Structure 1
């Protein structure tokens, strides 16, 4: 997902805006909202929590958009995927958050597909529909388009394993170790 990389590149700029305006007054709710949403998008949950804690109470309480982004974040922390999809779809997001929130939904679905591919040799179609936030028909269409096998008689889906190229794109061991190292370094400082 190229959009995720584009949004990730915005983080330093938004963090700088937060710091600059914190010295001179109050940061705008738009900056806080975008930064919080992007942290959730790039799966940087520790920084999302820290941003929420340092955000002024009047902005947290007085801004429905930021509360809605945080609600999605809470569901991400709790791994309540079906609630994430519902929250993203049901809320009327403002222009500065709409694309980011849709990317959160799509990237969560993509992560679930990768996880299912790695962890399951078979899964009930109904369970997979919940994990992806799809209807039964959308689930069957998605998995068959990916080359996975669906048996209508049993209601089971048989995921195909990812190719090595797909696996490296979804997150290599080196990439995961780098993220872990960065997280530990962050905690130590």
Structure 2
């Protein structure tokens, strides 16, 4: 099996491409009738789907992984624990599943990138859903200690009320760009001119 495209994607941190590359390779290998049970990079494949937030495809892949692989490769099972927490929308459970395994060097870069992406996604979820939130809830969503979550939020412009322990969310300004099409302006001018005369 030629995993050169997958290797390139991993080395260049193009993690968003991994799921598609693995899916295509799996289809090619399957079409050739080659058996690949234990040689397949299931850990990376599953993580690739989770990275692009495709939990349904990860779930389907999990169901197709042979039980012998699940028994012999604990890292595959550890990745699926992350997938289960995503499936159940257990935000803090995702972080616990990430921290709860000693990842291999081959997987570490992808896990770190996924963790950062997920934390950023959760932060933006909080940003859009709350105007104030407790430090404890923020820490839960971000998978951090209360001190780290507070620092993370403060660095992004939030403020804290030290008496109540509430963080005030700093909403991002909504930028709307108006593009003026000169031809439309010309037609409007002509129309107004026509109405006035």
TM bracket (short chain): 0.7 to 0.9
Q: Report the counterpart of residue 17 of structure 1 in structure 2.
A: 25
Q: Report the counterpart of residue 64 of structure 1 in structure 2.
A: 74
TM-score w.r.t. length of structure 2: 0.75
Which residues in structure 2 correspond to 1:133-152 (within 5 Å)? 133-152=143-162
Q: Report the counterpart of residue 16 of structure 2 in structure 1.
A: 8
Q: Report the counterpart of residue 134 of structure 2 in structure 1.
A: 124
TM-score w.r.t. length of structure 1: 0.78
Larger radius of gyration: 2
What 5-or-longer segments of structure 2 have no aligned partner?
A: 1-9, 176-197
Is the Cα contact below 8 Å between 2:134 and 2:166 reproduced in 1?
Answer: yes
Is the Cα contact below 8 Å between 1:36 and 1:52 reproduced in 2?
Answer: yes
Aligned counterpart for 2:48 among listed residues 38, 43, 60: 38
* Root-mean-square deviation (Å): 2.1
| CA deviation string 1:78-128 (max 9, x = no partner) | 122222212212311112221222222212211111011111010011111
CA shift, 1:29, in A, is 5.1
Q: Report the counterpart of residue 178 of structure 1 in structure 2.
A: none
Instruction: Tell me which of the two structures has the higher relative contact order, counting C-alpha pairs closer than 8 angstroms and 6 or more residues apart.
Output: 1
Q: Report the counterpart of residue 100 of structure 1 in structure 2.
A: 110
What 5-or-longer segments of structure 1 have no aligned partner?
A: 166-189
CA shift, 1:30, in A, is 5.0
CA shift, 1:27, in A, is 4.3
Q: Aligned partners of 1:32 and 1:139: how far apart in 2? A: 33
Q: Aligned partners of 1:29 and 1:91: how far apart in 2? A: 21
Q: Aligned partners of 1:112 and 1:49: how far apart in 2? A: 21
Number of aligned residue pairs: 163
